[in-house]
Amino acid sequence: MKKIIMLGAPGAGKGTQAKQIAERYHIPHISTGDIFRANLKNGTELGKKAKEYMDQGLLVPDDLTCDIVMDRIRQEDCKDGFVLDGFPRTIPQAEALTEALDKINQKMDVAIDVAVPDESIVERMSGRRACLTCGATYHIVSIPTKAEGICDKCGNAVVLRDDDKPETVQKRLSVYHEQTQPLIDYYKKQNILQTVDGTQPMEEVFKAVTEILEQ
């Protein structure tokens, strides 16, 4: 069971889980947020366009987003599976994914919803820190850096991302409820939805995730 979608509100911990899944099962971790941020850092046209939306807590339009993911999952290293983190985020994106896989006689195996209530999300996001150089993510309480403010992996500074600031988080949450939450029903109907309790400690969440993937 190795074609995996991680669902969940921003800050639910799906990125952390996705990274661990990728490591454990030796499959690529495909994060659309990371792809946009890498483009932004490299000053590409795509990065510039994406930034306009990201800074406001809005979703980048589907046409920009879908092509990138479809190109990525057709690459050789994705043939034994991959974990999608932050995609799909809208029903049209989910439909585009289903259709693209259909064409090559494939389908996603499982969509795991990391469930966390809104109240906990805002609190969590304010403690989130990210390295804008290598993309590593931390949390001041649950996943602190070894040296304060310094990325363990590359030694650059870790910061509170603009889109993790409280006012943007509220906007992202309402966008999540309007546009992304309907995917829970979409994948329930496809019979591939699984839910884990994202309020547990990270290791417990990962244990629940691996139980799903290995059942």
**Which residues are identified as catalytic?**
14, 89, 128, 161, 172
Assess contact for 14 and 6: CB atoms under 8 A.
Answer: yes
Taking CB under 6 A as the rule, does residue 65 contact ligand AMP? yes
3-class SS of residue 43? coil
3-class SS of residue 193? strand
Segment near ligand AMP (CB under 6 A); pick from 28-36, 112-120, 138-146, 200-208: 28-36
Segment near ligand AMP (CB under 6 A); pick from 81-89, 99-107, 141-149, 206-214: 81-89
Phi/psi at 125 (5° precision): -65, -30
Q: Among residues 93 and 194, whose Cβ is nearest to ligand AMP?
A: 93
Q: Among residues 18 and 209, whose Cβ is nearest to ligand AMP?
A: 18
Nearest-approach distance from CB 194 to ligand AMP, in angstroms: 20
**Burial (CB count within 10 angstroms: exposed 0-12, middle 13-18, buried 19+), residue 152:** middle
Any residues with CB less than 8 A from the CB of 159 and at least 6 apart, and which?
Answer: 129, 130, 132
Q: Among residues 148 and 161, whose Cβ is nearest to ligand AMP?
A: 161
Taking CB under 6 A as the rule, does residue 87 contact ligand AMP? yes
HSE of 178 in the Cβ direction (CA atoms, 13 Å)?
A: 8
- Give kind and range of the element (H or E) at residue 189: helix 182-189
Q: Among residues 172 and 208, whose Cβ is nearest to ligand AMP?
A: 172
What is the binding site for ligand AMP (CB under 6 A)? 10, 32-33, 36, 53-54, 58-60, 65, 86-87, 89, 93, 163, 172
